[in-house]
Amino acid sequence: MATHRIGRVVVGSLAASPLIALGAVAGPLAGSEEYEITGAILLAFAFGWALLATVSILWTSEPQRWALLLAGFMGIAGAALLVFAPGDAVLDSLGWVWPPLFLALVAATVVRVRVSLHSRARVWVVYPLLAVYALCAVGGGYETVQASDRRTHPAPGQLIDVGGHRLHLQCAGSGSPTVILESGLGESGAYWGSISSAVARDTRVCVYDRAGRGWSEPAPVPQDGFAVARDLHVLLERAHVEGPFVLVGHSSGAQYVRIFAGRYPEQAAGMILLDGQPAEAFEGLPIYPIFYAGLRRVSAVLPTLARLGVGRLVSGPDASARTARSFRDEVAELPTALAEARSFQSLGDRPLVVVTATRGAMAGWFPLQDAMAKLSTNSRHEVVPFEHAELVTDAVAARTSTQAICEVVHAVRFAEPLAKS
């Protein structure tokens, strides 16, 4: 009977931890900083282990005092994160410390569990959970090593100081106007590969990584749309990239090129919006507020998961804790950036091509795409049978995007109106 009782105590105590953690990060801590998310999760799991030790000592004949080791480690670590609110640099440094300590603690716990716990819950619950902890420690160490190793490899392009951080810029081709490629939400410049190569055969083309993405360094604080536009302006100026510019924005990149054109109109000669996110998304897309609320919550958890190596395991070598933080910050500033883009409502007669993907589009997407085409009196709206991301990443769809870019380049170069579809 006592064995059955301790089994129920183990399952009940440890089941409480993920429920508390999930409730915290999806509720009051939704969208919080990494140290807050991580600290809350650690405290939730510390509570589970402390509950197991306390209940087993008071109400069973099999006291599991070893659980206090895990409770103490996680509780102290979680409380320290919440009290001291460490920045990203400190969290990066701690990556060299906590994985070996935690792995050693897990190994010592396994020995204690084997001696003290005789319920089947040892095999079905405790050992699997400790195995997950060990994987977290190994993944955390691997992530720290990989993040450090990346710093030893030179960037393929230039790293230009734009004031407190450096941005990565890579240009190819020759001729005027120069095409500037602005990536979508959370993307680095690398995904423009095929389009950049094709456009470079016709004119000069430059692609860059926004702060915290790809090879670029993080900005000191999260950036709204004005800050992103300013970064790009300073980057091009200090890299001696001469205008005029044809601005290409994919997805959420549309808001940044729209803001850039509004703040530096003398440098914006033309624009292409590739299934660009409408500045009126919150008002014109019925499902968008719900979609954004979920994205905001998920994005805040990603830095913590990436810290354990989960990002690299799921999404590849570029999914580091640094890029996850950048994505979180960009998502957090998205409503502000969209509102800033709405303040620029006219490109005059500068050539503008809006390319809209039909597959998987949200309800209300097409009317807002039509509205964006009216930003210029010299515009064309193309509706194509592709998905949102395919306009950049799919070879066939990318040819449609490249053609639109080259047509705007031609219109700017020869001061001609766009051909109508």
CA distance 381 to 379: 7
- Under a CB-based contact definition with an 8 Å cutoff, are residues 136 and 102 in contact? yes
Region of 251 on the Ramachandran plot (φ > 0 left; ψ -120 to 50 alpha; else beta):
left
Q: Which residues, at least 6 apart from 301, have a Cβ–Cβ distance to it below 8 Å?
A: 25, 37
The CA-atom distances, in angstroms, between 280 and each of 27, 184, 337, 365 are 27, 17, 11, 10
β-strand 245-250 against 205-209: which pairing, if any? unpaired
Residue 288: other Cβ atoms inside 10 A: 21
Q: Which residues of the chain, if any, have pLDDT below 70?
A: 1-4, 149-152, 315-317, 421
Q: What is the pLDDT of residues 351-408, one digit of tens each?
A: 999 999 999 999 999 999 999 999 999 999 999 999 999 999 999 999 999 999 999 9
Q: What is the pLDDT of residue 421?
A: 64
- Under a CB-based contact definition with an 8 Å cutoff, are residues 386 and 358 in contact? yes
CA distance 109 to 12: 19
Rg (CA), the chain: 26
CA distance 392 to 396: 9
- Under a CB-based contact definition with an 8 Å cutoff, are residues 386 and 372 in contact? no
CA distance 275 to 183: 12
Q: What is the pLDDT of residue 149?
A: 66
E strand or H helix at 384: strand 379-387
The CA-atom distances, in angstroms, between 291 and each of 21, 256, 288, 362 are 22, 21, 5, 10
The CA-atom distances, in angstroms, between 279 and each of 263, 301, 364, 375, 388 are 16, 26, 13, 12, 17
Q: Which residues pair with 206 in a beta bridge?
A: 171, 180
- Residue 62 has which token pair? 């099999």
Q: Which residues pair with 274 in a beta bridge?
A: 250, 355
- Residue 408 has which token pair? 């705007």
Q: What is the pLDDT of residues 186-215, one digit of tens each?
A: 899 999 999 999 999 999 999 999 999 999
